[in-house]
């Protein structure tokens, strides 16, 4: 794990324009938007605000590059080598990228350096290794024919990402797309465009040909929507809110684009009485409060068997009291601000709903300090399944603790949501944990751990938490089309 021991200096911001066809250019309209540092609310950069015209240019560049075949038909090993080079450059710039992430998103630099950026590098390396291992099958069909399948890149992909893990979402999207031989138009989130633009520059330095990666910063309903509607785009990969995904699904129907979605969650984290309680408390704390609670897989419904409820809550309260909140550039800081005012307001609204609905606010529940979008780590007990804080995704440091006695009922309660992204179970009885894992309707189940991510392990949602999978071989497959070739051999 990479650690940070001293206060990290603010990084220089180098790229703020659109990156199209290998060139850095202002938006066609000349418009810009501001991005802020959420710990101080100060403006840190003015970024080109792309719209339809810029998307058109970027899609032309990606389409030209794809159809020209320089990238998609490049020797697969060479494609992999260029990706390895990119991973090396990301590693060389890891401190700078982590600091950029902290500046734009507000996350503690300790986390950005120990988690986000190492995962970024690993993801690009993992998929670099796949570039020359994408193969089809031979199929024994009837008659005098030789039949085989080959996997080809899906084409030009539009990638729309959120602000909670800005650089990591770039890696999850670029890795499989580049390995498969696709070309890319990416729209980063308007709150956090900086690390994506920096990574595009590093990709250029790595020698990835012009037009393979294009980045258009801007807003969702303008730049994002233009990308979704563009007939020259073959696939949209989106991570964000369910409501946005529904708009995208409708908009993409006209051109029958391939879609992958990674959306929200209200993930159940279930602690049985026979669990290692310290491990469960640490896992529950990490599972919800990591990244200021801004994780789509956050374990926001903590179900605790009654017998151990009070003891577990006590341990969690203690952890919340000890949580170091403050300047995210300070390496001692464990919790930074929420990303922006809208998120901050929404979280405090939900704290109000929790109180109105009769839950007990045991820790937190208010703003921390008087500058920046900090929210105290908040814990509600006495939460019941029907309360708004137990049903809706809050995307902040607000944990709902629910009790259970009936072990047979708990799978039903855990599954009683339209989401199905992740879940966790804590028990020393591995047979019970296995049985329970098989009953959960979720794309990821962690047993006696939480938030364990690996580029090789597929991630995605059941139900309304998503469509398709990212990471692993499944994530790569989503960037390919299968072609069946049948040859008469008589
Ligand atoms: P969040 O509330 O977490 O920001 P969103 O779904 O609103 O989640 O945003 C995720 C990404 O989707 C961002 O890059 C945003 O700009 C983009 N986006 C928002 N609305 C649209 C839209 N109508 N079409 C395409 N992209 C959109």
DSSP string, 230-241: -TT--EEEEES-
Give CA–CA dist 263/368, Å, rounded.
28
**Nearest one of 235, 208, 249, 268 to 399, comparing CA atoms:** 268
User: Which residue's alpha carbon is nearest to atom 2 within ligand 1?
Assistant: 241
In the chain, % of residues over pLDDT 90? 97
pLDDT at 220 over 80: yes
With the most atoms of ligand 1 within 8 angstroms of its CB, the residue from 218, 240, 395 to mutate is 240
262: annotated active-site residue: yes
pLDDT at 143 over 80: yes
State the pLDDT at residue 69.
87
Residues 6 or more apart whose Cβ sits within 8 Å of residue 88: 206
State the pLDDT at residue 7.
85
- Chain segment 368-427, per-residue pLDDT in tens: 999 999 999 999 999 999 999 999 999 999 999 999 999 889 999 999 999 999 999 999
Output 2 or 314, whichever has higher pLDDT: 314
- Chain segment 117-141, per-residue pLDDT in tens: 999 999 999 999 999 999 999 999 9
Q: Whole-angstrom distance between the N-terminal and C-terminal Cα of the chain?
A: 60
CB atoms closer than 10 angstroms to residue 487: 9
In the chain, % of residues over pLDDT 70? 99
Give the nearest ligand 1 atom to 245 CA.
6
pLDDT at 208 over 80: yes
Pocket of ligand 1 (CB under 6 A): 160-163, 187, 189-190, 219-221, 224-225, 228, 240-241, 244, 247-248
State the pLDDT at residue 408.
87
Give CA–CA dist 258/58, Å, rounded.
19
**Nearest one of 211, 162, 161, 164 to 184, comparing CA atoms:** 211
Dump strand ranges (E) for 290-395: 301-305, 360-363, 378-381
State the pLDDT at residue 24.
98
Please answer whether residues 240 and 159 qualify as being in contact, where contact means their C-beta atoms are separated by less than 8 angstroms: no
Judged by phi (left if over 0) then psi (alpha if -120 to 50, else beta), residue 364 lies in: left
pLDDT at 459 over 90: yes
Report residue 271 as tokens: 């602690």
Which string of b and e fits 112-146 if b means at least 16 CB within 10 Å? bbbbbbbbbbbbbbbbbebbeebeeeeeeeeeeee
User: Which residue's alpha carbon is nearest to atom 15 within ligand 1?
Assistant: 220
- Chain segment 7-36, per-residue pLDDT in tens: 889 999 999 999 999 999 999 999 999 999
297: annotated active-site residue: no
Report residue 265 as tokens: 């969650």
- Chain segment 34-75, per-residue pLDDT in tens: 999 999 999 999 999 999 999 999 999 999 999 998 999 999
Exactly one of 18, 123, 296, 361 is catalytic; which is it? 296
Ligand 1 center to 161 CA (angstroms): 7
Give CA–CA dist 241/160, Å, rounded.
11
State the pLDDT at residue 1.
56
Give the nearest ligand 1 atom to 164 CA.
3
CB atoms closer than 10 angstroms to residue 205: 12
- Chain segment 226-244, per-residue pLDDT in tens: 999 999 999 999 999 999 9
- Cut 0.95: pTM above it: yes
Mean pLDDT of the chain: 97
- Chain position carrying tokens 């006209």: 254
User: Which residue's alpha carbon is nearest to atom 4 within ligand 1?
Assistant: 162
> How do 422-426 and 32-37 pair as beta strands?
unpaired
């Amino acid at each position: 794990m990479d650690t940070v021991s001293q206060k990290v200096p603010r990084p220089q911001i180098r790229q703020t324009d659109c990156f199209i066809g290998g060139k850095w250019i202002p938006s066609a309209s000349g418009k810009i938007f501001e991005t802020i540092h959420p710990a101080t609310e100060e403006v840190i950069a003015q970024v080109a605000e792309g719209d339809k015209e810029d998307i058109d240019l970027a899609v032309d560049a990606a389409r030209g590059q794809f159809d020209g075949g320089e990238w998609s038909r490049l020797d697969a090993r060479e494609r992999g080598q260029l990706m390895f080079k990119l991973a090396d450059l990301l590693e060389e710039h890891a401190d700078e990228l982590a600091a950029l992430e902290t500046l734009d998103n507000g996350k503690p630099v300790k986390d950005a350096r120990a988690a986000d950026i190492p995962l970024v590098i690993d993801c690009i390396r993992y998929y670099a290794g796949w570039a020359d291992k994408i193969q089809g099958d031979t199929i024994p069909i009837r008659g005098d024919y030789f039949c085989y399948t080959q996997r080809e890149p899906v084409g030009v992909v539009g990638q729309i990402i959120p602000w909670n893990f800005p650089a990591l979402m770039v890696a999850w999207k670029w890795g499989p797309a580049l390995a498969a031989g696709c070309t890319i138009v990416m729209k980063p989130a308007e709150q956090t465009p900086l690390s994506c633009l920096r990574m595009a520059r590093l990709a250029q330095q790595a020698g990835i040909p012009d037009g393979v990666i294009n980045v258009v910063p801007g807003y969702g309903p303008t730049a994002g929507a233009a990308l979704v509607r563009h007939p020259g785009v073959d696939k949209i990969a989106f991570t964000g809110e369910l409501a946005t995904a529904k708009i995208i699904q409708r908009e993409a129907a006209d051109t029958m684009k391939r879609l992958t979605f990674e959306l929200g969650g209200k993930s159940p984290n279930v602690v049985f009485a026979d669990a290692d309680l310290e491990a469960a408390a640490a896992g529950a704390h990490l599972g919800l409060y990591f990244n200021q609670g801004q994780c789509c897989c956050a374990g926001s419904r903590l179900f605790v068997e009654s017998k151990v409820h009070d003891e577990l809550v006590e341990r969690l309260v203690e952890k919340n009291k000890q949580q170091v909140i403050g300047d995210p550039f300070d390496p001692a800081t464990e919790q930074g601000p929420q990303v922006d005012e809208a998120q901050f307001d929404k979280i405090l609204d939900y704290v109000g709903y929790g109180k109105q609905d009769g839950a007990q606010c045991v820790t937190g529940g208010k703003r921390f300090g008087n500058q920046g979008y900090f929210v105290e780590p908040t814990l509600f007990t006495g939460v019941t399944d029907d309360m708004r804080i137990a049903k809706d995704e809050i995307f902040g440091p607000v944990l709902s603790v629910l009790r259970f006695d009936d072990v047979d009922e708990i799978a039903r309660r855990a599954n009683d949501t339209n989401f199905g992204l992740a879940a966790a179970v804590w028990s020393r009885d591995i047979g019970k944990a296995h049985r329970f894992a098989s009953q959960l309707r979720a794309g990821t189940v962690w047993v006696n751990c939480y938030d364990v991510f690996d580029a090789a392990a597929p991630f995605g949602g059941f139900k309304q938490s998503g469509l398709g999978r990212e990471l692993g071989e499944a994530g790569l497959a989503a960037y390919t089309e299968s072609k069946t070739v049948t040859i008469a051999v008589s």
